[in-house]
Amino acid sequence: MNIALENRTERQEIGTLTKPALAVAYGDGIGPEIMSATLRILKEAGASLDITAIDIGEKVYKQGFTSGIRPEAWEAIRESGVLLKGPITTPQGGGYKSLNVTIRKSLGLYANLRPCVAYAPFVRTRHPGMDVVIVRENEEDLYAGIEHRQTGEVYQCLKLITRPGCEKIVRFAFEYARANGRKKVTCFTKDNIMKLTDGLFHRVFDEIGSEYGELEKDHMIIDIGVARLADTPEDFDLIVTPNLYGDIVSDVAAQIAGSVGLAGSANIGESCAMFEAIHGSAPQIAGKNQANPSGLLQAANQMLVHLGQPEVATRIQKAWLRTLEDGVHTFDISTQEHTRRLVGTDEFADAVVERLGSAPKQLTVRDLKSENSSVAKPKIQRTTLDLKALRKETMGVDVFLHHTDLDPERLGLGLTEASTEQLKIKMITNRGQKVWPNPLPETFCTDHWRCRFVHPEGSAVNHAHILQLLTRLSERGYDFIKTENLCSFAGERGYSLGQGE
């Protein structure tokens, strides 16, 4: 492996069988403590791993790498294909990028899998029976990170949803549900408002869901869905949802399970995977031997299943549950009622190691052996759309203007005069609300106008027509800041209508 020696802080081997390669990043804050504790438990449980430690995070950011990762570390991760990652401290300000988002997107880790389980009565929760898996799309949506300030008053963030992206995550969710004995898959979107983007996600969910006849399927609008999840999580089994909703839903779910500090997550791609606790680097308690290593241990267990060592994961899971039952707790989960021994990070790991080989008396052990690690990498078939043959017609253009005269009547008149033979002004909206023709004086307007131009007879137009229109607008002093072509694909409208259209 070609990584510079100074960047390799440690290399060790665990176990004696064939050893899958694993990149390990200890991370920042409490990261090194919980990672050492976790690796010790893995070793004692008989995990077979060939570990390369890499440096990422705060130290690397401060060396001037704004992504928080050096090229050699990328190489090590890509070579092993699997990363177990401690939490990272992202320095404030200074243009530092989120390392998590960079790792997910660069390595194509499209699925974020977060099981949210209650461990009542040993860990306090209002929902003792909760056992829900959140499958979050991990690569697209508003996380494309394409943002612009367009006018003095208006800022924009692009929400990109793709058909292959929806197909991959939805297929993953159904395959995971099938292989793990989950009975019901629920999809959360907001397609009553975002009919094209979230509408696509919902449509793909219905299309792919029809192939899984044995599973119950349901779709909910995200707002009522999250409200119900927070109230009666026992009604849910597995939830699949786009990126931003998934980010929020998975934190809500982990929190109400009562176990934010106990949850791990898996980020799965077609050739790589990354496993981590869901919490951050907790700088306040770093170096004090206080942190709970359980979140990272849960992530490591997901990783062992992924690497085809479910029996080791089950052994660890049993010992860990027994530790919770025996009342050996770190401070964050300790209660007067159930804690018999308050311990630090190292002692907690010792307690789990001591219990390897024993099983819980009350808490349920998930049958990890039945998990098929190939589920983590389902064969994703991209729907065969003949992209080149797809008939596309341009039916008009939305021209966005930065225009500080806030009278829509005057703008409508000016754009009527600026219209060309092929492209005539049809309507103007401000923040999506129609303001011309027939504006209402009550409607609040900003300096950002969407002006829709279409052919007067509804015919298709071409680039030359659009360029001619833009030239006329420019000559008349209109500041166009962006255009969106109004296209139909195989005769199907590919843009939202304004009111009254």
Which positions touch ligand NAD (CB under 6 A)?
30, 34, 87-90, 100, 261, 276, 279-282, 284-285, 291-292, 295, 332
Helix crossing, 163-179 with 197-209: angle to 10°? 40
First-to-last C-alpha distance (Å) of the chain: 61
- Measured from each CB, the residue nearest to ligand NAD is 280
In the complex with ligand NAD, which residue's Cβ is closer, 328 or 445? Answer: 328
In the complex with ligand NAD, which residue's Cβ is closer, 329 or 434? Answer: 329
269 strand-pairing partners: none
* DSSP secondary structure string for all residues of 136-149: EE-S-BGGG--EEE
In the complex with ligand NAD, which residue's Cβ is closer, 259 or 314? Answer: 259
Please state, as a whole number, how many other Cβ atoms lie within 10 Å of the Cβ of residue 483.
15
Are 446 and 431 within 8 A, CB to CB?
Answer: yes
In the complex with ligand NAD, which residue's Cβ is closer, 41 or 208? Answer: 41
In the complex with ligand NAD, which residue's Cβ is closer, 187 or 296? Answer: 296
Nearest partner of 135 among 101, 108, 109, 105, judged by Cα: 109
Q: Which residues contact 451 (CB under 8 A, 6 or more apart)?
A: 398, 399, 400, 401, 411, 415, 425, 427, 428
Least distance CB 283 / ligand NAD (angstroms): 6
In the complex with ligand NAD, which residue's Cβ is closer, 282 or 466? Answer: 282
In the complex with ligand NAD, which residue's Cβ is closer, 110 or 478? Answer: 110
In the complex with ligand NAD, which residue's Cβ is closer, 266 or 282? Answer: 282
Least distance CB 246 / ligand NAD (angstroms): 15
* DSSP secondary structure string for all residues of 355-383: TTT---SSSPPP-GGG--GGGGS---PPP
Tokens of 303: 């990783």
In the complex with ligand NAD, which residue's Cβ is closer, 137 or 191? Answer: 137
Cis peptide before 310 (omega within 30 of 0): no
In the complex with ligand NAD, which residue's Cβ is closer, 298 or 309? Answer: 298
Least distance CB 412 / ligand NAD (angstroms): 48
What is the rounded distance in angstroms from the CA atom of residue 426 to the CA atom of residue 415?
A: 10
CA distances (Å), 157 to each of 52, 145, 435, in order? 38, 7, 23
Least distance CB 29 / ligand NAD (angstroms): 6
Least distance CB 398 / ligand NAD (angstroms): 38
Least distance CB 86 / ligand NAD (angstroms): 8
Q: Report strand pairing: 82-85 vs 273-277.
A: parallel
What number of residues does the chain have?
Answer: 501
Least distance CB 31 / ligand NAD (angstroms): 8
CA distances (Å), 293 to each of 77, 329, 357, 385, 401, in order? 23, 11, 20, 46, 53
Least distance CB 282 / ligand NAD (angstroms): 4
Phi, psi (deg, nearest 5) at residue 14 = -120, 135
Least distance CB 179 / ligand NAD (angstroms): 26
- Assign 70 to helix, strand or coil: coil
Least distance CB 74 / ligand NAD (angstroms): 17
Nearest partner of 285 among 220, 327, 351, 344, judged by Cα: 344
